[in-house]
A = this chain, B = another copy of it.
Amino acid sequence: MSKVRQQYRSVFIHLHSTIPTHTCVWNSAIPSVFDSAFDLSWIKNHLTDSMFQGTRDYNPKQMAIREKVFNTIVSCFKRHGAETIDTPVFELKETLTGKYGEDSKLIYDLKDQGGELLSLRYDLTVPFARYLAMNKITNIKRYHIAKVYRRDNPAMTRGRYREFYQCDFDIAGQYDAMIPDAECLKIVHEILSELDLGDFRIKVNDRRILDGMFAVCGVPDNMFRTICSTVDKLDKLPWEAVKNEMVNEKGLSEEAADQIGVYVGMQGGMDLAERLLQDQKMCQSTQACAGLTDIKLLFSYLQLFQVTDKVVFDLSLARGLDYYTGIIYEAILTQAGVAPVAPETSNEAPTEECVTVGSVAGGGRYDGLVGMFDPKGRKVPCVGVSIGIERIFSIMEQKAEKIRTTEVQVMVAAAQKNLLEERLRLITELWNAGIKAELMYKKSPKLLSQLQHCEESGIPLVAILGEQELKNGVVKLRNVATRDEVDISRADLIAEIKKRTSA
């Protein structure tokens, strides 16, 4: 694509963004691309670097939201006893090779400037597996929050960027079946409930059920992966289109496709797993049976965890990544009010169709990945979940109204000129006592502008100094919201501020 067309395309994507882009220059009136007055020079003058790259700056308001979301997520991970690790932003190129199937073309490579060939990490799962193998760790429960990189077409409207955060929680180790798997789903349930993003569903399936289903439906072994990635499109395309791709593009027999069609329309809870275990055809696959038995066990644990209200066993869930070997899952937000909620006590998961606004979490079991990095191929079974934090940010940003970007409790202000030294002396007392305080960096700021700054940035208190206050050994403490003012002795000031700002 030519540079100019590429620019045009980026802009087009951006102009149609529904997400406020606080970090860039689009706040002013934006000419329509269909406007006769519209020309490319306007774009060139207004483009931001990060738009080209499909990345973005986070401004203070966005960071305040991000901090809130991260706190909720990290609290949950810690509540479940997780440790955390960190890995470098780049890995040896060979570490990433062969792990992502077709998506490998989206990996960012570093320039060969002498030394090793390096690539930016594509996810946090492969570096985690490399870390376990390298350090011979056979069990760990860890979370990792960090940015990953994909040379994808950025679709910022849908919260998709080339640089984005992943929040991963994984349990590695040889344990009794489905206990850690169920905990991962409990964690997704807790996080999405606490973030209060509206109703959601967690779809569950198992790679072994998918593979068994393909086998009994007559899909040739060597077509499992490609048919699986076609099934994966069912969340975006109707069955007819998916069937068409299977038959006409991938050469599957129509009969096999139709049989798959019957299964992938099935959704339910533990009952569906039980029913499929009785299914004449499905029973022929020992793989599928193992998967279905585990789904049953999983649901029994999910009942004890009190999360079955949101979990659906859905045979159409496929997930693209090669490394999954067992349970897979994906959480989607359903438009508020559209989805009915099944009673907590029922085994029946809600099956009515919900309008989805996209996946916000996903994961599964990958028992073979760590072995790929071990010289002797020793396996470490793993199960994990990744929270799709960027989409959550986008939603929180749209919802967020007034958000403070600092935590300042008190402004140290002067009512008269030439009180800088007195202000510096007072703010030193406050800082040394651990109080969050600021002052204006002017020798003689106007009282009005000091008060206005507090109103604008949400600072709740002002400690005002004037000749009279200094003479009397007091400070005038003003409540910004109510405008009440009261004299407080210097000795009592710190305690008073702490009392008033402890929420």
A41 within 8 A of B: no
A78 within 8 A of B: yes
Q: Are the C-beta atoms of B79 and A436 separated by less than 8 Å?
A: yes
Q: Are the C-beta atoms of A110 and B113 separated by less than 8 Å?
A: no
Q: Are the C-beta atoms of B135 and A431 separated by less than 8 Å?
A: no
Q: Which of A169-177, A203-211, A233-241, A354-362 forms part of the interface with chain B?
A: A169-177
* A2-27 contact mask (Cβ, 8 Å, vs B): 1 or 0: 00001000000000000000011100
Q: Are the C-beta atoms of A437 and B85 separated by less than 8 Å?
A: no
CB neighbours of A109 from chain B (8 A): 110-111, 113
* A54-82 contact mask (Cβ, 8 Å, vs B): 1 or 0: 01111110011011000000000011111
Q: How far does the alpha carbon of A434 sit from the alpha carbon of B131 in the complex, in Å? A: 31
Select the residue from A24, A111, A176, A442 with max chain B CB neighbours within 10 A.
A111
Q: Are the C-beta atoms of A58 and B85 separated by less than 8 Å?
A: yes
Q: How far does the alpha carbon of A81 sit from the alpha carbon of B441 in the complex, in Å? A: 13
Q: In chain B, what residue has the closest Cβ to A434?
A: B79
Select the residue from A6, A86, A113 with max chain B CB neighbours within 10 A.
A86
A221 within 8 A of B: no
Q: In chain B, what residue has the closest Cβ to A56?
A: B88
Q: Which of A396-436 contact B (CB under 8 A)?
A: 405-408, 420-421, 424-425, 428, 431-432, 434-436
Query: Looking at the complex, which one of B83, B108, B375, B436 makes contact with A405 (CB distance below 8 Å)?
Result: B83
Q: Give, as a whole number of angstroms, the nearest-CB distance from A498 to chain B.
A: 13
Q: How far does the alpha carbon of A83 sit from the alpha carbon of B173 in the complex, in Å? A: 41
Q: In chain B, what residue has the closest Cβ to A428?
A: B305
CB neighbours of A186 from chain B (8 A): 428, 431
Q: Give, as a whole number of angstroms, the nearest-CB distance from A295 to chain B.
A: 17
Query: Looking at the complex, which one of B48, B58, B443 makes contact with A134 (CB distance below 8 Å)?
Result: B48
A57-B88, A58-B86, A86-B57 given; A52·B405 CB < 8 A: no
A296 within 8 A of B: no
CB neighbours of A64 from chain B (8 A): 83
A115 within 8 A of B: yes
Q: Give, as a whole number of angstroms, the nearest-CB distance from A9 to chain B.
A: 11
Q: Are the C-beta atoms of B134 and A24 separated by less than 8 Å?
A: yes
Q: Which of A89-97, A224-232, A475-483 forms part of the interface with chain B?
A: A89-97
Q: How far does the alpha carbon of A66 sit from the alpha carbon of B85 in the complex, in Å? A: 10
A95-B49, A111-B111, A171-B441 given; A408·B81 CB < 8 A: yes
> Interface on chain A toward B: helix, strand, loop, or mixed SS?
mixed
A116 within 8 A of B: yes
CB neighbours of A279 from chain B (8 A): none
Q: Which of A441-461 contact B (CB under 8 A)?
A: 441-443
Q: Are the C-beta atoms of A147 and B438 separated by less than 8 Å?
A: no
Q: In chain B, what residue has the closest Cβ to A58?
A: B86
A253 within 8 A of B: no
A24-B134, A190-B431, A421-B304 given; A78·B406 CB < 8 A: yes
Q: Are the C-beta atoms of A89 and B59 separated by less than 8 Å?
A: no
Q: Give, as a whole number of angstroms, the nearest-CB distance from A154 to chain B.
A: 11
A286 within 8 A of B: no
Q: Are the C-beta atoms of B57 and A85 separated by less than 8 Å?
A: yes
Q: Are the C-beta atoms of B88 and A45 separated by less than 8 Å?
A: no
List 12 contacting pairs A-B, 8 Å CB cutoff, sorted by A: A48-B134, A50-B88, A52-B115, A55-B90, A57-B88, A60-B85, A67-B84, A81-B406, A175-B442, A176-B442, A179-B420, A304-B421
Task: Show the binding face of A for B, using Cβ within 8 Å.
Answer: 6, 23-25, 45, 48-50, 52-53, 55-60, 63-64, 66-67, 78-92, 95, 108-113, 115-116, 118, 120, 130-131, 134-136, 140-142, 147, 149, 151, 163, 171, 173, 175-176, 179-180, 183, 186, 190, 301, 304-306, 375, 405-408, 420-421, 424-425, 428, 431-432, 434-438, 441-443
Extra contacts, 17 of them, besides A66-B86, A89-B120, A306-B432 (Cβ < 8 A), are A24-B134, A48-B134, A52-B116, A58-B85, A79-B435, A80-B431, A80-B436, A81-B408, A83-B405, A83-B406, A89-B149, A108-B111, A108-B113, A176-B420, A176-B443, A183-B441, A305-B428
